[in-house]
Each structure stands twice: as structure tokens, then as C-alpha cells.
A and B are shown apart, each in its own frame.
Chain A
Amino acid sequence: MSDTLLINSSELGATASDWLALLKPRVMSLVVFTGAIGLVVAPVHMNPILAVTAILCIAVGAGAAGAINMWYDRDIDAVMKRTAMRPVAAGRIEPASALGFGVVLAICSVLLMAVVANAVAAGVLAASIGFYVFIYTMWLKRRTPQNIVIGGAAGAFPAVIGWAAATGDIGALPLLLFAIVFFWTPPHFWSLALYASDDYKRAGVPMLPVVKGARHTRVCVFVYTLVLLPVALLPYWLGLTGRIYGASALVLGAAFIYYAWGVLRDRQDEAGVSLSNDAPARAAFKYSLLYLFVLFGACAIDRLV
């Protein structure tokens, strides 16, 4: 029997795509994009091979944080419809394997960033991974409805890392890009939370609609979207970007406010529950993704032309 491998009949083992899914590829695409923009708008030219490697480090670092998040949140992922099929929650990958995978990738990404770019970029990358894992996942997510307000900082780091990789320091523009993602995160996630609140409620995650109700959340989405407009215009007002970015920030911001207004004015019952199946919140969520891609794209175009 020594040459026989006995395996639990409930498991046929994970596929390669399950391991890839641990890295949250969809979140990774946003991280890669904002990190690349930070690198492109930096005033220092970086060798293309080193630049691509630096962006890869940002992507792998973010993916590693995602894998550790899936390890830690496997209990709540399993009861939420949106996340029940994730590889750890569904039992296709052992929790300890996911944790080991995430930790090894996190260490490798930070070390490689230090070799390829510099200590500042590696330090900020390590801080972003630590922030996502310890501050957001382990501390805030299950304790406060402000979880994604503070936790949003984790997703705002990549532009700063990209800039730091090229320049070795942190300037005003990457800090403003950080602020834009920071203020963009609440209306983005709360729009999603509005139509996924049953899921969060079932899992016991204190998202804003679960704790304060849908009506209060709609007001918060609108207020944060209003605040986002001047924040997004700051790089133009301070002369750090040109007119292409300025015009884009104004038009995109106005459109975002229009969508947020739709969320605020959504038909609802006395308890604030949507009578339109949260159609405006779904539209606002989709638009928020477009907003960030186009706004950051305009920032890069402004720098290149």
C-alpha cells in the first residue's frame, strides 16, 4: 500500500485555473492598470523590461493579498452567493495551501520589486499588502460599516507604487491619484453592496446597507461622489496635468454625479428597499469602473501628448 495514494472522494483536486482564481484576476486588472498609469505619468524613464517586471510585482503582490484574503474569509465567502464558488470556500483548495501560496507570492513580489526598482517601491508594496490583509481583511471588514472607506486605501496604493518604482520617491501627483481611488472606492463598493446586501447580511459582514439601511447608503453614495469631483480636479488645478485630464475629470465626474443622483432618487418603499431591483445602483457600479479607467487613461494621455 505504500505506493498507493488515497484521496478524499469529495475532492478531485484543484485545476490550474483555481489557483489563478486565488489571485482575484479581475481585481488584479484594475491594480495593474492604476500601477501602470503611476509608472507612465512619472517624470523618469524606466527601462521597459524593468517597468513590466515592476508592474508584474504589483499584480502578484495584489494577487497574493487576495489569496490570503480568501484564506481568512473562507467562512463568510462560503455563505455568500457571489463568493461561494471561490476555490477555498468551495473546498477545492486547502486553506493552508492558499495561505502558503499567498505568503510566498507576497514575499517574492516585494523582494523582486526591491531588486528591479528600489526600496521605496518595495516598501510601499509591502505596506499595501499588509494594509489589505491586516487592516482591511482581519480588522475592519467584520467590525465596522466604514470598512471599505478606510480599506479603500489598500486599492489606492498601486499608482503610488508605480510612480515610486520609476522615481524612487513619492510626489504630489501619485498622492492625488491615491486620493482619487480612495474617494472613488466608497460609491463604487456601496453601489455593489446595495444590490448584494442580502449576501452580506447572511454572512454577517457589517456593510453600510446592512447596518444603516439602503436609504442612508444612497445618501452616502451621493455625498462621496460629490466629494470625488473636486478631488479628481485637483491635479489639473494644481497644474500637475493638462487640459485633456481636466476636461475628462469634469465630464466624467458630472456623469458620475448623474448616476449617483439616480441611486439617491431610486424608487423605494418606506424601509428604503429598492422597487426597481436596484437598477440605478447596478448602473452606477458599472459606470464607476468605466470612470476610473477613463480618468486614469486621460491622465496618462495628457502626460504622453
Chain B
Amino acid sequence: MMPNAPRVEHENWSPEMVAEFKRRQRGRNIALLAALAAFCVLIYAVAVVKLHEYGQMW
């Protein structure tokens, strides 16, 4: 059984602050996903070019 996702909680935080925290967290996650996806595409493209250069592809 999967554990529950951690809750963000602080005694002094207003609902607006919690929402802002979640917004920033989501933004970081999306940016990281985009960076990782771009890195994968880059490595794939470099691999294709390198293999093509050495005559091991097509």
C-alpha cells in the first residue's frame, strides 16, 4: 500500500502561503521534467550523429 503524500503544514502559514508553496513546488517539478526531457532528446540526437559519423547507422 502506497503511503500518503507528505502534507505541507506550518502553524504560521496562511492558506495563501500554502498555495504559494505548492505553486512554486509545481513550477520546480515542471522545470525539472522539461530539463530532463530536453537532456534525453539531446543525448539521443548526439548518439545518432556520432553513430552516423562512424558509419554504424544507416
* Known contacts A6-B10, A49-B46; A12 and B27 CB within 8 A of each other: no
In the docked arrangement, what's the CA distance between A14 and B6, Å? 19
A144 within 8 A of B: no
A12 adjacent to B21 (CB under 8 Å):
yes
Q: How far is the CA of A129 from the CA of B4 in the complex (A)?
A: 43
Question: With contacts A3-B4, A47-B53 known, is A14 near B9, CB below 8 A?
Answer: no
**Judging by beta carbons under 8 Å apart, are A50 and B46 in contact?**
yes
Compute how far the CA of A53 lies from the CA of B41 in the bound complex, rounded to whole angstroms. 11
* Of A7, A16, A56, the contact of B28 (CB 8 Å cutoff): A16
A6 vs B47: C-alpha distance in the bound complex, in angstroms?
A: 44
A238 CB-CB contact with B under 8 Å: no
Q: Which of B18-57 contact A (CB under 8 A)?
A: 20-21, 24-25, 27-28, 30-31, 42, 45-46, 49-50, 53
Total interface residues on B, using CB and 8 Å?
25
* Number of chain A interface residues as a range: 20 to 34
The answer, yes or no, to whether A100 is at the interface (CB within 8 Å) is no
Please give, as numbers and ranges, the residues of chain A lying within 8 Å of B8 by CB-CB distance.
5, 7
Partner of B9, one of A4, A16, A47, A49: A4
1/0 per residue, CB under 8 A from A, across B1-17: the answer is 00111111110110001
In-complex Cβ contact of A9 among B12, B30, B31 (8 A)? B12
Take A3-B3, A49-B46 as given contacts and tell me if A13 and B10 are in contact as well, using a CB distance cutoff of 8 Å: no
Interface residues of A in 1-40 (CB under 8 A from B): 3-7, 9, 12-16, 19-20
Q: Does A290 contact B (CB under 8 A)?
A: no
Residues of B at under 8 Å CB distance from A? 3-10, 12-13, 17, 20-21, 24-25, 27-28, 30-31, 42, 45-46, 49-50, 53
